[in-house]
Structure 1
């Protein structure tokens, strides 16, 4: 009498795979792949999914590595929990604290984010520190003030991961009152100023994605608010494929230290103007 099909499959699934006898058994809690590191907030790790072969044997599929999301922070204690809590599966938060006095770093660490301290003040300094700390091939940048929706990171990082774009900028679709008029006008003016070098751009988007090694190779020098614009200009000069995708833009948590005041906007414009030289 033959072995019933179900029992035969069970026995064949139980047979060791080639070379498995030479491997030590994995202890409880150990990862199957060392690259599946502990990601904490928005960890890019899920339990391996199982598929069934023609024999009906479950096979564990390796999870994809996380995409690091660099979040420059200066006194964003009120916004951090919401931002980190909204990170989708497959994204890992790197919070770069740029001298906060409200406990932003402690809150981020308690929520499982990797926290990098950057004592040198400046938005560009924080972005560069995060880029240096990142380990993923594709990296994202976004503000950590609650104005951007982390759920839309896939829309921005997708073309880069797929190889159809080198730099993707999230062009903001603002809800009423989210984007002060003076900041909106300044952003539009900057877009016109850079058109000759970077093509038609509607926004110097605060949510963006690119490949880490490529960004490092660009040699961005600005360490203040000119960092985002210099990235776009250097990418354009290098022949990168730059795309824009729409992202929602909401009222931020707390008062903006940049675009919330005319003075902050003027300072930002001055930094970006220097970046264009």
Structure 2
């Protein structure tokens, strides 16, 4: 009979705690009268973990590709249950108390997350940096970037349907697999719930596989790469707004604030801010097209409208107009220089024309190149 629930545990030399985790899961099946199986996704253990699992009636799936994500993907693909519960085999999570997850899954939720901060973190169960810096900060960034209400992005105990797992189409191979599962679920509009979960101290005597700084960076990098809006668009718009407003003010004349005067030298920087911000915005557009067309991000409702409103012809016209404005301003500056017989420029008046001229020409060229490349990326459409 097909099991309702498969408990999948990644395993790499977990001989100390593997047996107790399997036994807790099996006792849960028996107590709650759930047809279930335990799947051990072995990532190359050399301490006899495989035999321990087999002797207890668990199914061992060998996953040769190293990595937390690889192990879980291999184990989940081999699982036969309608629902999947994944959790570490270090006895930090209680596999005998999975009923809150099952209830939420039976209610129709696609992903059920544990929340250790609501359920309780026992003394010594989580390092200080993880508890008060790493997990709270990364979870906050995840909520901010992806408009999520999940309080604990990195809880290792979570449940989901096998059907939802295939919809997620997970790709990452390392510890960032945990973040990808949530992000993909949000982006694909899957139904997500959260239940309190208790975290106990790791039952092993050896150090955990988790590396605080490198794995933390992998999580942060993943969150940024999957949110081009926060990585490129918002910083770019802020830089453009700040640079354009100040450039307009300084083009009109010097700006005095207290005893400090900002003039054409500052105008160079503000023009640079405008150009850099514009490049961020353009890169957001290119990244969005690339990620959607290659299946890394789902297509939003606004995506098709993007190609209707931003066409190569419109971009080329706007770009050439800006280049033309820059050329006209350059001619005006040349005429002013000619009036002083091409001598030394002792006033800032000409620079107030030259700097905007160069800026508009550069903006025009960027728009022209963007329009061409944007159209190339969208050829698949």
TM-score, with length taken from structure 2 = 0.53
1:153-232 paired onto structure 2 within 5 Å: 153-163=98-108, 165-172=109-116, 173-184=120-131, 185-196=133-144, 197-203=146-152, 204-232=154-182
| Equivalent pair of 1:157/1:210 in contact (CA under 8 Å) | no
Indicate conservation of the 8 Å contact 2:164/2:190, yes or no: no
Q: Take 1:198 and 1:106, find their aligned partners in 2: how far apart are those partners?
A: 44
Unmatched segments (≥5 aa) in structure 1: 1-34, 37-64
Q: Does 1:148 align with 2:98?
A: no
Cα distance, 1:198 vs structure 2: 4.6
Aligned to 1:130: 75
Give 1 or 2: higher helix fraction. Answer: 2
Q: Aligned equivalents of 1:161 and 1:140: distance in 2? A: 13
Match of residue 257 from structure 1: 208
1:269 and 2:219 matched: no
SS at match of 2:104: helix
Quick check: 1:72 aligned with 2:22? no
Task: Quote the residue 1:83 is aligned against.
Answer: 21
User: What is the SS of the residue equivalent to 1:86?
Assistant: helix
The aligned counterpart of 1:242 is 192
Contact 1:77 1:102 in 2 (8 A): yes
Instruction: Report matched runs for 1:41-60 at 5 Å.
Output: none
Deviations 1:60-105 (A, max 9, x none): xxxxx33001100111101011111111112311001111111111
Of the two structures, which has the highest relative contact order with CA contacts closer than 8 Å and spacing of 6 or more?
Answer: 1
Change (3 A) 1:153 1:274: same
How far apart, in 2, do the equivalents of 1:258 and 1:103 lie?
18
TM-score (norm 1): 0.73
Q: Could you say which structure has the higher strand fraction? A: 1
2:40 alignment partner in structure 1:
95
The equivalent position to 1:109 in structure 2, one of 9, 34, 54, is 54
From the superposition, tell whether residues 198 and 210 of structure 1 become closer, same or farther in structure 2 (CA, over 3 Å): farther
Q: Secondary structure at the match of 1:149?
A: coil
Partner Cα separation in structure 2 for residue 239 and residue 271 of structure 1:
24
